[in-house]
């Protein structure tokens, strides 16, 4: 029940790990050709899952690296030097924007009270000084979601670009980046995508030619594989690449992604809502306070519960092989492979541990 933190990697990954070892053991220099095919296949599979065209998405080790790379594409000159964001971001987001303060970026943080986004307050802060709006699709802390179609339309009317951290939603909530017209979407494999060690960045294809990252690397160049210095950019989202990639993480993550894509995100979302709905009902019946929004359209894949001595309860549950995470609240994030019966097993165990 820990997918908002670290999702389960399917057993098929064992085969990929074994093959990778064989590749290393019997090394040949042209291994890289196959690895590039695998890297591109994974990037295009993530793209397909979020309604993006092939070639519009790049992968790297983590979201922080990719966010900083996107941030390095802009000149933060007044009057448009502001980055509107919220206080419900994953900690990497404020850290990166504060660091870019050195180059003139001014983070404009909308306060939320710690659980729910105030969409009106957020939109009221977007004006002719706003260069970027950088928000999550769903909060890692509370599971509350933002109405992205409304936000993107509002930001674009004001001439601002929208960067979305969708780490907590891609794989469990439907997201069609093309229909949405959003500018940049970031996410990663190791939660709801049942992968490991890789993150992604989608950039709206008609925006891509206008963005030139200063934080870059040779793989972003137009003649990278000739091993001469490039003078131009690679085609498509490859311009947001860095240095030598680590293919293993894409190859392993492909296994989980293929399983999820086979089920389809709308079906995953229906099952997720049924599971989180059951958690909410059972919590209400047991007198456990639910922190996350209870309205289906507002909640992401996680339910946060306010449990006394929650961190110790989490540890006692883990000793019973019942896994969730604790970040001030107990965070319970079932995925498509969890059953409603398992949700009941979880809630029975939780109620017992609280009573202890
Ligand atoms: C919303 C969100 N963004 C980003 C991250 C992680 O970013 P990174 O890949 O840089 O560690 C997480 C969780 O680890 C998250 O929940």
**Dihedral Cα 180, 183, 189, 193, nearest 10 deg:** 0
Q: How far apart are CA 132 and CA 82, in angstroms?
A: 7
- 115 and 178 housed in the same domain: yes
Domain edge (last residue) among 261, 294, 329: 261
Using the CB atoms, write b or e for 9-44: b if 16+ within 10 Å.
Answer: bbeebeebeeebeebeeeeeeeeeeebeebbeebbb
User: What is residue 66's DSSP assignment?
Assistant: H
The strand order across the sheet containing 161-165 reads 57-60, 199-203, 184-188, 161-165, 130-136, 82-86, 106-110
Q: How far apart are CA 81 and CA 131, in angstroms?
A: 6
For residue 90, how far is its CA from the centre of ligand 1 (angstroms)? 6
- Residue 5 maps to a domain: no
Say if residues 305 and 351 touch (Cβ distance below 8 Å).
no
- 196 and 342 housed in the same domain: no
Pairing of strands 325-326, 289-290: unpaired
Question: Helix, strand, or coil here: 86?
Answer: strand
pLDDT at residue 85, as a whole number: 98
For residue 167, how far is its CA from the centre of ligand 1 (angstroms)? 6
For residue 286, how far is its CA from the centre of ligand 1 (angstroms)? 32
- 284 and 342 housed in the same domain: yes
pLDDT at residue 106, as a whole number: 98
- 52 and 193 housed in the same domain: yes
- 351 and 252 housed in the same domain: no
The CB of 100 under 6 Å from ligand 1? The reply is: no
The CB of 333 under 6 Å from ligand 1? The reply is: no
- 288 and 244 housed in the same domain: no
pTM above 0.75, yes or no: yes
- Residue 18 maps to a domain: yes
Query: 289: how many CB neighbours lie within 10 A of its CB?
Result: 12
- 129 and 195 housed in the same domain: yes
The strand order across the sheet containing 289-290 reads 289-290, 303-306, 330-332, 325-326
Pairing of strands 289-290, 303-306: antiparallel
Query: 151: how many CB neighbours lie within 10 A of its CB?
Result: 21
Q: How far apart are CA 327 and CA 9, in angstroms?
A: 22
Query: 95: how many CB neighbours lie within 10 A of its CB?
Result: 14
The atom of ligand 1 lying closest to the CA of 65 is 10
Q: Any idea what the CATH number is for the domain that residue 341 is in?
A: 3.90.1150.10
- 72 and 205 housed in the same domain: yes
For residue 242, how far is its CA from the centre of ligand 1 (angstroms)? 19
Question: How close are the terminal C-alpha atoms of the chain, in Å?
Answer: 21
- 165 and 191 housed in the same domain: yes
Question: Helix, strand, or coil here: 179?
Answer: helix
Q: How far apart are CA 225 and CA 205, in angstroms?
A: 23
Q: Any idea what the CATH number is for the domain that residue 127 is in?
A: 3.40.640.10
- How many domains does the chain fold into? 2
β partners of residue 136: 165
257 alpha-carbon distance from chain centroid: 14
Say if residues 160 and 131 touch (Cβ distance below 8 Å).
yes
The token duo for 305 is 């519960």
- 89 and 202 housed in the same domain: yes
Question: Helix, strand, or coil here: 102?
Answer: helix
The atom of ligand 1 lying closest to the CA of 61 is 9
The token duo for 238 is 């490859």
Q: Where in the sequence is the domain holding 218, given as residue range(s)? A: 13-261
pLDDT digits (tens), the chain, 356 positions? 999 999 999 999 999 999 999 999 999 999 999 999 999 999 999 999 999 999 999 999 999 999 999 999 999 999 999 999 999 999 999 999 999 999 999 999 999 989 999 999 999 999 999 999 999 999 999 999 999 999 999 999 999 999 999 999 999 999 999 999 999 999 999 999 999 999 999 999 999 999 999 999 999 999 998 999 999 999 999 999 999 999 999 999 999 999 999 999 999 999 999 999 999 999 999 999 999 999 999 999 999 999 999 999 999 999 999 999 998 999 999 999 999 999 999 999 999 999 98
Phi/psi of residue 265, each to 5°?
Answer: -65, -35
Domain edge (last residue) among 242, 261, 280: 261
- Residue 346 maps to a domain: yes
The CB of 167 under 6 Å from ligand 1? The reply is: yes
pLDDT at residue 169, as a whole number: 98
The token duo for 168 is 């907590």
Question: Helix, strand, or coil here: 337?
Answer: coil
Listed residue (130, 127, 77, 79) closest to 104, CA to CA: 77
Question: Helix, strand, or coil here: 199?
Answer: strand
- 229 and 282 housed in the same domain: no
Task: Provide the CB-side half-sphere exposure for 131 (13 A, CA).
Answer: 18
- 121 and 257 housed in the same domain: yes
For residue 3, how far is its CA from the centre of ligand 1 (angstroms)? 13
Q: How far apart are CA 126 and CA 154, in angstroms?
A: 8
Sorted by sequence, the CB contacts under 8 Å of residue 33 that are 6+ apart come out as: none
Listed residue (293, 292, 279) closest to 347, CA to CA: 279
The CB of 62 under 6 Å from ligand 1? The reply is: yes
């Amino acid at each position: 029940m820990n997918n908002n933190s670290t999702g389960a990697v399917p057993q098929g990954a064992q085969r990929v790990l074994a093959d990778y070892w064989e590749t290393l053991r019997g090394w040949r220099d042209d291994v890289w050709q196959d690895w590039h095919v695998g890297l591109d296949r994974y990037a295009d599979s993530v793209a397909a899952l979020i309604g993006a065209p092939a070639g519009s998405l790049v992968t790297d080790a983590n979201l922080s690296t990719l966010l900083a790379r996107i941030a390095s594409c802009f000149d933060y000159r007044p009057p448009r030097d502001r980055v509107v964001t919220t206080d419900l971001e994953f900690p990497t987001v404020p850290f990166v924007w504060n660091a870019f303060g050195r180059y003139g970026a001014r983070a404009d943080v909308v306060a939320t009270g710690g659980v729910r986004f105030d969409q009106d307050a957020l939109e009221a802060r977007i004006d002719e000084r706003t260069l970027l709006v950088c928000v999550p699709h769903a909060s890692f802390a509370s599971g509350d979601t933002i109405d992205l179609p409304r936000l993107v339309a509002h930001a674009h009317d004001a001439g601002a670009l929208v960067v979305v951290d969708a780490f907590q939603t891609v794989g469990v909530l439907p997201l069609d980046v093309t229909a949405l017209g959003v500018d940049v979407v970031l996410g990663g494999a190791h939660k709801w995508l049942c992968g490991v060690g890789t993150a992604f960045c989608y950039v709206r294809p008609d925006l891509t030619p206008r963005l030139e990252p200063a934080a870059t690397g040779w793989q972003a160049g137009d003649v990278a594989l000739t091993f001469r210095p490039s003078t131009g950019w690679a085609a498509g989202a490859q311009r947001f690449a860095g240095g030598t990639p680590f293919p293993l993480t894409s190859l392993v993550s492909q296994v989980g992604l293929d399983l999820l894509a086979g089920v389809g995100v709308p079906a995953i979302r229906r099952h997720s809502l049924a599971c989180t709905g059951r958690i909410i009902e059972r919590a209400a019946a047991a007198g456990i306070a639910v922190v996350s929004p209870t309205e289906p359209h507002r909640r992401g894949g996680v339910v946060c519960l306010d449990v006394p001595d929650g961190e110790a309860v989490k540890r006692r549950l883990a000793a019973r092989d019942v896994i969730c995470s604790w970040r001030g609240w107990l965070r319970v994030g079932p995925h498509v492979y969890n059953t409603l019966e398992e949700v009941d097993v979880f809630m029975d165990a939780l109620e017992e541990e609280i009573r202890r």
